[in-house]
Homo-oligomer: A and B are copies of this chain.
Amino acid sequence: MRENRVMSSTESSHVFEPGAELARSSSPARILTLVHRHGSLSRAQLTKLTGLNRSTVGVLIAALVAHGLVFEAAPAGEAQVGRPSPEVHPNPAVAALAVNPEVDAVTIGLVGLGGRVLRKVRYPTQRIPTAAEAVNIAAAVIAGMRGELDAQYRVVGIGVAVPGLVTVADGVVRHAPHLDWNNEPVAQMMAEATGYRVRVANDASLAAEAEMTFGAATGIANLIYLNGGASGIGGGIVADGRLLTGVCGYAGEIGHTLVRSDGTSCHCGAFGCLETEVRQAPLLAALKLDAGDPAALARALSATNDPAVTSEVHRQVAYLATALRNVVNVFNPEAVVLDGFLAALYAAAPEQLLAAVTAQSMREPGAQVTIHPAALGADLMMVGAAELAFAQLLTDPAGFMEAH
């Protein structure tokens, strides 16, 4: 357990160094990552999945057990012929903190190795929080959990999911339009306020990774994730199993691609963006709802047959299809995962969306792609942000445990 220590502002080592995960993923890393992603696997399954010799797998798991990262237990499922293979479980006491500032709340969570959300605290705010306020709220909640954390958990760090452009290397939020944050060194602020190691990234990118790792697109290596929120559309792209980041970590802004040449101008500086044409507000207005809960929206959409609503749904689905046509042609993804009100929109007119995407896309990539609603729901951001904090541990378990 780590001691609760005060950090000086020069002690920058608690901001994760970029390139720390450049080290080629080692064998212990592969095993720990598999166990983390699957929740639990038998030694025999790990042997098959890694392609390593079973004697080697034995040694590696023993080391992970010695480090307290995993534990073995008797097999649970129905028995097979042959000696039973013990199941390897991730140790949920090895945990990561997740922080997700939004326009109306700051959510703080604790996520165990294996991806289970162990604690979640949503702290509503009266107005849009500043970066300093968000950090203070998170730090206060974490301070409140500190006794429990130090007694029962090994916390590997904090992952912060921010709705905006983030330079991942230094953890600076360059521009979060809806929070009105500009050049906020969130990683440093959070590290100084809590003493934990901190990494920051774009929320939709983390969501994309979480959906690939634990959600609707488990095991799919090429996927597009799009989340429709009250304030806009965020996106994340996973290609060949890796999240696309671009040079600075800004990649994935599918919400700001052209879908309508004569569209209205967008806060991003352009016009006719997906985000300006496909919005939650007109749907809620047509339905005379004011709550932004995606599930309620989906229910209301399926219940209504008001032609004004239907027409708005069709209009938005057409623009969404155009955006998807672009990304399907450019990425040849296996799946598109829709979250938030976009999932509700899809549920309201699934055939229309799929038909429009297929018609506009090039034949071959268009025939490949499938569309799914997101699966992780409320815990998505916690899991995604935690993944950010787990990354270094999963890349180099032995090195990480020795260093911390």
Contacts and interface: CB of A to CB of B under 8 A. Distances in A.
B325 A362 contact: no
A331 interface: yes
Given A262-B261, A270-B360, A254 B330 contact: yes
Q: Chain A binding site: helix, strand, loop or mixed by DSSP? A: loop
A239 interface: yes
B332 A269 contact: no
Contact of A329 (B253, B322, B365): B253
A244 B224 CA distance: 13
Contacts of A365: 165, 246, 248, 250-251, 253
Contact of A364 (B250, B252, B334, B360): B250
Identical chains bound together, number: 2
Contacts of A362: 165, 175, 250, 253, 256, 268-269
A387 to B, nearest CB: 18
A363 B251 contact: no
Interface string A254-265: 101111111000
Contacts of A262: 261
Interface of A: 24, 165, 174-175, 221-222, 235, 237, 239-240, 242, 244-254, 256-262, 268-270, 272, 322, 325-327, 329-334, 359-365, 368
20 contacts: A24-B24, A165-B364, A174-B364, A175-B363, A221-B247, A222-B247, A240-B244, A246-B332, A247-B334, A248-B368, A250-B364, A251-B330, A252-B330, A253-B330, A253-B365, A254-B329, A257-B329, A257-B330, A326-B326, A330-B330
When A and B form their complex, which 4 residue pairs have the shortest distance between CB atoms, in order from nearest? A246-B332, A250-B332, A261-B261, A253-B329
